[in-house]
Structure 1
Amino acid sequence: MTTARSQLISIEATPYYHCVSRCVRRSFLCGYDVLTQTSYEHRRGWVEKRLQHIASVFCVDVCAYAIMSNHYHVVLHINKDQAHRLSNHDVIERWLTLHRAPVLIQRFLKHEVLSKAEHTACLTIIKTWRERLCSISWFMRLLNQYIASKANQEDECTGHFWEGRFKSQALLDDKALAAAMTYVDLNPIRAGIAETPETSDYTSVKARIESLEQNQATAPYLFPFAGNPRNKMPEGLPFRLSDYLELVDWTGRQISEGKHHHIHSTQCPILERISFSTACWLNICTSIEKGLLIGTPSSIQAVLPKLNRKRCVGLRIP
């Protein structure tokens, strides 16, 4: 039995979510299908470009992503404050980047004389669009519909491309966020299709590393790192990028098959800051998809009323 989306996504509970979409049956999103001897590698570019485009329109930030052969992962941040700061015309401009304008909105943009009822109807439409611009459900819908249509057109077939609704997990605290992002960025390494984060194609960690090499703070479509929590903290992820990259590298060395060496010189600062034992951290980073809620027991317990849930279910992080 599926769980209502209102019990999975709530901005009052947390703005951070890990989402996964998988292809139906043996459908290949990208990669090479040995059974049919067909390459779909070019489709990874479709997903990455569409993800970038939607991120530039929506008030939903992309924290991490990994595009695999028959599924993809994203860690998203609902930026409700950004949505509230948009003017009515900003909302219209963003929404019409992806949709056609209703006649009434066209008249509104042309500054035609509208009746009181028509003006009220315009404001209602704009309010709805503003809410959708910070909706993960709409974000994922516009991403998945586009890819499904394009893939079916290429395959000359119809029908479902994705395996039902996308899966979402609430990330309730900094520990859960760091674990989910690391899990996502290390997907190609665990799958054996990349040896290091910097060679993991179509991942956020590679995009961030390439930006550093080009003397850029971060890729423009990715949620930036704001550093350790502090007063008057700028908008962004509550870690330092250098700490996160060291964390990803350290974790990848521990869980990658055939790699038995360790980093002995220093422990990752982020592990010290969020009080993780290494054993606990590795367990979380290899079983992140098992729960609908991810966080410390107290974090999970605190958000149950906001998600209309009674049972304390989820992946508990000590």
Structure 2
Amino acid sequence: MPRPQRCEQFTASDICVVHVTQRCVRRAWLAGVDPVTGQDYSFRKEWIRRRMEALASVFAIDVLTYAIMSNHLHQVLRSRPDVCAQWTDEEVAIRWLRVFPGKRLEEHLAEPSENDVKMLVRNRERIQLIRSRLSDISWFMRALAEPIARIANRQDECTGRFWEGRFKAQRIVDEAGLLACSMYVDLNPVRAAMAASPEGTPHTSAYDRAKSRSGEEIPSTAFDLKPVDTEEAGRKARETPIDELRKQRKQKLRSPTGKRVLRDAWLSPIRIKPDKLSNDAEVHTEGVRSSDRGFLNVDWEMYWELLCWTANQRVDGVASKIPQALSSLLSQVGVDTSMWRDLVWHWPKYFGKSSCVGSPDSMKAHAKEAGRHHHRGQSLAATCFS
């Protein structure tokens, strides 16, 4: 069965949750120690995290979970066209110009001015197209992957492909699949024997959330969503030496707003608020993420307990008894408790070749909506769900 086209998996006009994987080409090491040359590229993990944080502040995309590995990265993303629909044309314009400033002689120095925003707003067709792109996962991944590839190639003094190809996407169609996929992503470094527990896995969403509970803050890389004054921008460009402009621009890129935020402020909250209506966009107003909507009917404390318990089940066939509270949680979402450990630790076995993630009934229903008979891996995944 051929892999479905992207338009069959998700569209920018629908709210959907997608697990995406982006892998480096051949021996190009994204953020680890190259086993051949011995060179350490671990510092690049922070490049990725900071870029994701910046993009989360302008796109109508919720970052639910992520993990940055040595030569690939995982993300669970949720498109939010309902949030984007709440933004004014001016907000859409400044968000777009922050990421794609357009053709300029010194593009890396340019900041969107009030005049740039007004000119873009006047183009109604262009604004409508941009609005759809700001809730498109494909455009989010493009804005993430291209700058990283350019910087890495410049640093390695080479040209050509840095990424293996387009990202791999899996549509997540129910809460059971979302809980299992989130755990799989957060535990990737543990599964790869890079850490003994989630506490020792920097550059994962679980680590960020855990550190935030102790109050750890970081300089925010969220874009400044205010255009600069046109006259002031022109005066600065005329009177300031180009080297000084480059220096100022570089300093501002480290923290565009100058604010400090909790380490997980840019990530989507875990818990869905029970008092919110299902059609409430819950638009975020502090400029670090698109919305305040959670994605699981689970508190952070319960999520963390299940994550740590699962991380400790390293030996195949030898799993300790799961606590009653965690067993009840898995039963509520429809996962077979006895198969939970195997589902998370051997995720590629069950869903590695599937374009859809979820319980068998949900996968079957989604396949029917997409005009397909079934999804690959559907029958094998049935062994893990009650």
User: Quick check: TM above 0.5?
Assistant: yes
Residue 264 (structure 2) aligns with: 219
1:302 maps to which of 339, 349, 365: 365
**1:39 aligned counterpart, secondary structure:** coil
Letter in 2 for 1:295: G
How many residues were matched structurally? Answer: 310
Q: Which range is displaced more, 41-50 or 286-295?
A: 286-295
In the alignment, the residues of structure 2 paired with residue 73 and residue 110 of structure 1 have an alpha-carbon distance, to the nearest angstrom, of 34
Q: Deviations over 1:163-185 (max 9, x none)?
A: 11100101000001001100000
Residue 236 (structure 1) aligns with: 294
**1:96 aligned counterpart, secondary structure:** helix
Is 1:131–2:132 an aligned residue pair? yes
Residue 290 (structure 1) aligns with: 353
Question: For the Cα contact (< 8 Å) 2:90–2:118, is it kept in 1?
Answer: no
Q: Deviations over 1:81-120 (max 9, x none)?
A: 11110100000010011112579x98975757x9xxx94x
Is 1:53–2:54 an aligned residue pair? yes
Residues 110 and 25 of structure 1, relative CA distance in 2, 3 Å threshold: closer
**1:49 aligned counterpart, secondary structure:** helix
Question: For the Cα contact (< 8 Å) 1:12–1:306, is it kept in 2?
Answer: no
In the alignment, the residues of structure 2 paired with residue 42 and residue 127 of structure 1 have an alpha-carbon distance, to the nearest angstrom, of 38
**1:95 aligned counterpart, secondary structure:** helix
Q: Which range is displaced more, 238-247 or 88-97?
A: 238-247
Question: For the Cα contact (< 8 Å) 2:15–2:81, is it kept in 1?
Answer: no
**2:180 aligned counterpart, secondary structure:** helix
Residues 271 and 89 of structure 1, relative CA distance in 2, 3 Å threshold: same
In the alignment, the residues of structure 2 paired with residue 263 and residue 313 of structure 1 have an alpha-carbon distance, to the nearest angstrom, of 32
Residue 177 (structure 1) aligns with: 178
Letter in 1 for 2:187: L
Question: For the Cα contact (< 8 Å) 1:15–1:78, is it kept in 2?
Answer: yes
In the alignment, the residues of structure 2 paired with residue 283 and residue 135 of structure 1 have an alpha-carbon distance, to the nearest angstrom, of 33
Residue 93 (structure 2) aligns with: 92
In the alignment, the residues of structure 1 paired with residue 354 and residue 320 of structure 2 have an alpha-carbon distance, to the nearest angstrom, of 29
Alignment of 1:24-43 (within 5 A): 24-43=25-44
RMSD: 2.9
Q: Deviations over 1:112-154 (max 9, x none)?
A: 7x9xxx94xx111111111111100001111111111111111
Question: For the Cα contact (< 8 Å) 1:17–1:171, is it kept in 2?
Answer: yes
**2:334 aligned counterpart, secondary structure:** coil
**2:19 aligned counterpart, secondary structure:** strand
Shift in Å at residue 272 of structure 1?
3.4
**2:352 aligned counterpart, secondary structure:** helix
Q: Deviations over 1:46-66 (max 9, x none)?
A: 111111111111010111000
Question: For the Cα contact (< 8 Å) 2:355–2:376, is it kept in 1?
Answer: yes
Residue 272 (structure 1) aligns with: 331
Alignment of 1:182-261 (within 5 A): 182-214=183-215, 219-227=264-272, 232=277, 235-238=293-296, 239-254=298-313, 256-257=314-315
Instruction: Name the TM-score, length of structure 1 as normaliser.
Output: 0.87
Gapped runs of 5+ residues in structure 2? 105-111, 217-260, 283-292
Shift in Å at residue 15 of structure 1?
1.1
Shift in Å at residue 264 of structure 1?
5.5
Residue 153 (structure 1) aligns with: 154
Residues 161 and 219 of structure 1, relative CA distance in 2, 3 Å threshold: same
**2:312 aligned counterpart, secondary structure:** helix
